[in-house]
Amino acid sequence: MNKTNINLQPNYWNQIWTKEGTATWRRYPGCFGRICWAVGHLQEVLELGCGTGILASQLLEFGNVVTGLDISEVAITQLPEEIKGVVATLPEIPLADNSFDVVVATEVLEHIDDDQACVREAVRVLRPGGRAYFAVPNNCLGPDEEPEHVRKYTPETLEALLSPYGHLFMESFVDEFVISSNQIIAIPTILAAIYTSG
């Protein structure tokens, strides 16, 4: 990349999570609801880029054991005590091979310089037969529109990235939610699931 990726600067995200905390607008109800339904119950789950744990907390309510990983120490300190927190900079996942039934990364890949390495790492920490879920904006919010993003995805580019790792299921939808009394966010979204071999 020609410029420094602001997502690799912990203080950038520390400032965001100090300001937003658990009251963050980053709730993505359509995406999070689909993921909770798909993950189900009693799984060991790793969430990459967990922030303050909005999705991780929902997964916990389904009886899952949840670990959250984020670059921001401030975000990790705000996780509920039942969620194990790991501070790390993706694509590195400093956890053992075959540690989780499920890995989840929503609104993460578009922030990372090396998305291929991140997917490889996610699959590495999965147990045989594990599943990985990735959600990204659908053909929008590229670097010209959103300075935090280093690329934008289409269903075709996301499929090319993920399909080498297992059977793939993909869905496109619009995640629409209210962030204040007079503001609605609508984000065209791709949700992809990798089903690895057993």
Distance CA 103, CA 119 (A): 10
Domains of the chain are 6-16+27-195 (3.40.50.150)
pLDDT range class, residue 3, cuts 50, 70, 90: low
Helix or strand (DSSP H, E) at 31? helix 29-39
Instruction: Name the CA dihedral angle for 173, 5, 145, 18, rounded to a multiple of 10 degrees.
Output: 70
**Average confidence (pLDDT) over 3-28:** 82
For the cut 50, the answer to whether the pLDDT of residue 2 exceeds it is no
**Average confidence (pLDDT) over 163-186:** 89
pLDDT recorded at residue 1:
41
CB 152 within 8 A of CB 124: no
pLDDT digits (tens, 9 = 90+) for 79-129: 999 999 999 999 999 999 999 999 999 999 999 999 999 999 999 999 999
pLDDT digits (tens, 9 = 90+) for 129-170: 999 999 999 988 778 888 889 999 999 999 999 999 999 999
Helix or strand (DSSP H, E) at 178? strand 167-180
Q: What is the pTM of this model?
A: 0.92
